[in-house]
Amino acid sequence: MSTMTTKAGGPGAATSGRFRTGLALSAFLGLLNLPFLFGGSPDGEDGPPTLVLALTAVLGLVSVVCAVVSWRSGNRLAVRINAAALIINALLSLPAFFVDIASWVKVGAALSVLLTVVALVLTLRREPTPYTVTD
pLDDT at position 22 over 80: yes
- Give the helix/strand (H/E) hosting 131: strand 131-134
Whether residue 1 lies inside any domain: the answer is: no
pLDDT for 40: 61
Whether residue 2 lies inside any domain: the answer is: no
**Separation between Cα atoms, residue 4 and residue 27, nearest integer Å:** 39
With 0-12 / 13-18 / 19 or more C-beta atoms within 10 angstroms meaning exposed / middle / buried, residue 51 is exposed
pLDDT digits (tens, 9 = 90+) for 99-119: 888 888 889 889 999 999 999
Among 77, 74, 89, which residue's Cα sits nearest to residue 28?
89
Cβ neighbours of residue 50 closer than 8 Å, sequence gap 6 or more: 40
pLDDT for 44: 56
Domain count for the chain: 1
DSSP string, 16-53: -HHHHHHHHHHHHHHHHHGGGGT--PPTT-----HHHH
pLDDT at position 11 over 60: no
Average pLDDT over residues 41-69: 83
Whether residue 41 lies inside any domain: the answer is: no
Whether residue 81 lies inside any domain: the answer is: yes
pLDDT at position 6 over 50: no
Cβ neighbours of residue 122 closer than 8 Å, sequence gap 6 or more: 18, 19, 21, 22, 25
pLDDT for 10: 45
Whether residue 82 lies inside any domain: the answer is: yes
pLDDT for 135: 67
- Containing structural domain, residue 111: 15-36+48-134
pLDDT digits (tens, 9 = 90+) for 59-74: 999 999 999 999 998 8
Whether residue 43 lies inside any domain: the answer is: no
With 0-12 / 13-18 / 19 or more C-beta atoms within 10 angstroms meaning exposed / middle / buried, residue 89 is buried
